[in-house]
Amino acid sequence: VLADCHSFAQAFLPKMMEMDHGHIVTIAGSMGLFATACMDYCASKFAAAGFHEALSHQLKAKQINGVKTTLVCPYLLDALPSPLKPDDCVKTAMKGILNNQPIICIPRIMYFAVVLKHLLPWDVPVLVHKFLGIDKCMHPFIRQREAKRHLIYNETKNLSL
C-alpha cells in the first residue's frame, strides 16, 4: 500500500505542484484511523493514512494551495448490522471530494469515534471497541485468510508427495 502511494506521488505530484492544481484522494478505510485485530491489515491502512497526512502537511508547508487532498475512510462494508452499500459509499465519497473535504468517514458516526479516540484515555476506546464488538470486526476476514492459507498449504503438501 505505502509503495503504491509513494509511486503515485512521485509520478504525478511534481506536475500537480508545478501547476498548483490537482486532487489526491487516498482511500485508507476506517482501520487507518483506529486499529483492531489483524495487525498487518490495520498497519497497511495506517500507513496509507499516515502517508496522506504527511503529504497534506508537506503541501501546506510549501504553500501549494491548489493541490487538494482527501482521505476517504469507509468502515468495513459488510461488518455493520445494516451493511454499507458500495454505491452509497461511492456517492458519499464523491460528494466530499467534489467539495474538497479533507477527510470523509463513512458512515458519519465514524467522525465521532475518531474524535473520541484522540480525546479520551487509551483504555476508553479499547472498552468501547469491546462493547460495540469492533474488537472482533476483523475476525471473519482473519478466518477466511487462514482457511485460504491452510488450503494452499495442503495443496502444496499434496503436490510434494
For 86-108, write each residue's pLDDT tens digit. Answer: 888 899 999 999 999 999 999 88
Q: Give the model's pLDDT for residue 161.
A: 61
Q: Give the model's pLDDT for residue 5.
A: 78
Cell of 126: 479499547
Residue 77 pLDDT > 80: no
CA distance 73 to 151: 32
CA distance 33 to 111: 10
Cell of 39: 495487525
Residues 111, 79, 71, CA angle at the centre, nearest 5°? 35
- Percent of the chain at pLDDT > 90 equals 36
| Structure-model confidence comparison of residues 147 and 142, the more confident one | 147
Tally Cβ neighbours within 10 Å of residue 128: 16
CA 157 centroid distance within chain: 36
Query: Residue written as cell 476476514?
Result: 141
Strand arrangement, sheet containing 67-74: 22-27, 67-74, 103-106
What's the one-letter identity of residue 56?
Answer: S
Of the listed 41, 75, 111, 153, which one is catalytic? 41
Domains of the chain, earliest start first: 2-136 (3.40.50.720)
Residue 41 annotated to the active site: yes
CA distance 47 to 5: 9
Query: Tens of pLDDT along 39-67?
Result: 777 788 888 999 999 999 999 999 999 99
Confirm whether pTM is higher than 0.85.
no
Residue 103 DSSP symbol = E
CA distance 137 to 83: 13
Q: Give the model's pLDDT for residue 14.
A: 94
Q: Collapsing DSSP states into helix, strand and coil, what is residue 37?
A: coil
